[in-house]
A and B are shown apart, each in its own frame.
Chain A
Amino acid sequence: MAREPEFVFEYLKQVESLAQDVLSDRRDIIELNKKRDKTREAARALKKLDDKSEPVWLCCGNLFINFDQQKANYLLEKDQNSYDEQINKLHSGLKKKVNKLYEAENKPELKGYDLIPISKEEKQSLFELVGKN
């Protein structure tokens, strides 16, 4: 059963790098989510302002920039969309990476992982009550 140390080392390196990949993606998703929530909060705050003509201070990183409200709104919306996009991209990429990791670790494949999810209505049509657990 004994294997050469180089082989084991290589193997462990591979598994670890795959796992690191998954972890860093998870981290990215969380960070993006944080930013998304902050932009959402900002957009809400803008909407609540009574005086629509007054320019606002928008905090970008560590400096404040003075914008008029429409411009600020536009920027926030754009940011929001790009965050959504990036999160979706990471999510779909994450699945493949997890699968790869499982394969490398010799774990059984996750079952039903790459099925296309069914919608609520579709489920309702087939299981009238069982879905309510």
Chain B
Amino acid sequence: MTTPSASEIKEVREITRIERIGAHSHIRGLGLDDSLEPRQVSQGMVGQKKARRAAGLILEMIKEGKIAGRAVLIAGQPGTGKTAIAMGMAQALGQDTPFTSIAGSEIFSLEMSKTEALTQAFRRSIGIRIKEETEIIEGEVVEIQIDRPASGTGAKVGKLTLKTTEMETVYDLGQKMIESLTSEKVQAGDIITIDKATGRITRLGRSFTRARDYDAMGPQTKFVQCPEGELQKRKEVVHTVTLHEIDVINSRTQGFLALFSGDTGEIKSEVRDQINAKVAEWREEGKAEIVPGVLFIDEVHMLDIECFSFLNRALESDMAPVFIMATNRGITRIRGTNYQSPHGIPIDLLDRLLIISTTPYEENEIRQILKIRCEEEDVEMSDDALTVLTKIGRETSLRYSIQLITTANLACKKRKGTEVSIDDIKRVYTLFLDEARSSEFLKEYEQNFLFSEITSSTGTEKMTVDS
């Protein structure tokens, strides 16, 4: 009984693992060298040299803080690496720069207005950097000595000996300190920090040198190295928080819980104004830095005319992030109007954009991408199979052939093979239809599907009207 259940568990785990590999998880950066020249294959990026070079230039400007309030449009056919380039930019920016990625349709919600959702996205992409400085005493406790008065009541006195690898000293303890030491259950061999301003004691763990003091220890016992340097240290901590986080904390009493639940609701504009004023004040005094981040909106043609006019205005504010959009549309209707416009974006907004265009991948580029994906998904594939898959990728779409990697791998495992072969690819190719074959199939068997007559009848109606 035990063996099958164990294998079941294993299988479940595998599935979650596969799910967690995102379509762009192999992207590590833009793959540029020091002089911003794109390498053919680097950091998960393949081809698209022109677009990557352009993105690299913009990135450099973002890093130098020159380009806040600018907007970039990445345009290109489906499956030409638009999102990959945006992801690459995000990765290359590093952790400290806020990067928000949303899809155009995400802003349509019943709970908040479109402009509120956009404002939140904007404010999520602007970071504020502040610094805190605290004086702490950090060291390993050598000895605690607490003298209780003989009467049992009255002030206790005590001594605390602390050391680092370099020095050792004795502190006389007052009543308060003794209490907090006992409440923290500090004993000899612990590494502690004492905040000089507040007197708060924090136990960091036990010293490694005392690891053998006891035979049995709870699993929560943490061992740390004895600190180096001086006992009295100055600790400077730099935080980067986004404007949106500050907004949320201040908009409600239970503030920061809302940050985790995502239930933020609409934030009053007065709150935002106050925060803006405070931040501006700090910036003047040299206490805060503004970190303009990046807001990326995928499928930007899903925004409607109201959003676009809002964006026009928002880009002009002095605290605007770098705004990157991506679209796969050509000349199409602007949502919410009857007007046609390139990329489905109004001309006046389009005028403010720097446009990067991506072009379809070449055959060898497709091959390289598939190879990278195979590595990312831990799939062994024979050269022949890869060639076949590349051909499929060129004739159908890159996304379809990437889907086939995982499925073919499963087919391969099923026959207990170690390397995906042409047969596996063929098998899944017949099992799963690509878009072109699926529509062909639909056309052929249109009559057998539900509601087919409605479309055909409207079609004839139209014809009669037309004629």
Contact = CB atoms under 8 A, between A and B. Distances in A.
A130 B241 contact: yes
B131 A115 contact: yes
Nearest to A36: B232
Nearest to A112: B238
A115 B256 contact: no
Nearest to A108: B94
A14 interface: no
A98 to B, nearest CB: 12
Interface in B226-254: 229-232, 234, 236, 238, 240-241, 245-246, 249-250
Contacts of B231: 33, 37
B238 A111 contact: yes
A27 to B, nearest CB: 9
A21 to B, nearest CB: 17
Interface residues of B, number: 35
Contacts, number: 87
Interface of A: 26, 29-30, 33-34, 36-38, 40-41, 44, 91, 111-118, 120, 122-123, 125-130
B169 interface: yes
B287 A118 contact: yes
Given A30-B167, A130-B245, A120 B197 contact: yes
24 contacts: A30-B167, A34-B166, A37-B232, A40-B169, A41-B169, A111-B96, A111-B238, A111-B289, A112-B130, A112-B240, A115-B286, A116-B131, A117-B133, A118-B288, A120-B132, A122-B287, A123-B130, A123-B132, A126-B275, A127-B246, A127-B249, A128-B256, A129-B249, A129-B256
A91 B131 contact: no
Nearest to B248: A130
A93 to B, nearest CB: 13
Contacts of B246: 126-127
Contact of A44 (B130, B172, B288): B172
B170 interface: yes
A38 B169 contact: yes
Given A34-B167, A123-B130, A128-B256, A118 B234 contact: no
Contacts of A115: 129-131, 238, 286-289
B167 A116 contact: no
Given A33-B232, A34-B166, A115-B287, A127 B241 contact: yes
B137 to A, nearest CB: 10
Contact of A116 (B197, B232, B275, B286): B286
Contacts of A116: 131, 285-287
Contacts of B230: 29-30, 33-34
A115 B229 CA distance: 24
Contact of A91 (B170, B234, B255): B234
Contacts of A126: 246, 249-250, 275, 278
Interface in B117-153: 129-133
Sort A-B residue pairs by CB-CB distance and give the 8 closest, nearest first: A33-B230, A117-B133, A112-B238, A37-B169, A115-B131, A129-B256, A112-B129, A34-B167
B167 A118 contact: no
Contacts of B170: 41
B169 A118 contact: no
Nearest to B162: A37
Contacts of A34: 166-167, 169, 230
Contacts of B255: 128-129
A29 B228 CA distance: 12
Contact of A128 (B130, B131, B249, B289): B249
Contacts of A128: 249-250, 255-256
B167 A37 contact: yes
B229 A111 contact: no
Between B96, B236, B246, the greatest number of chain A beta carbons within 10 A of the residue's beta carbon is seen for B236
B40 to A, nearest CB: 20
Contacts of A36: 232
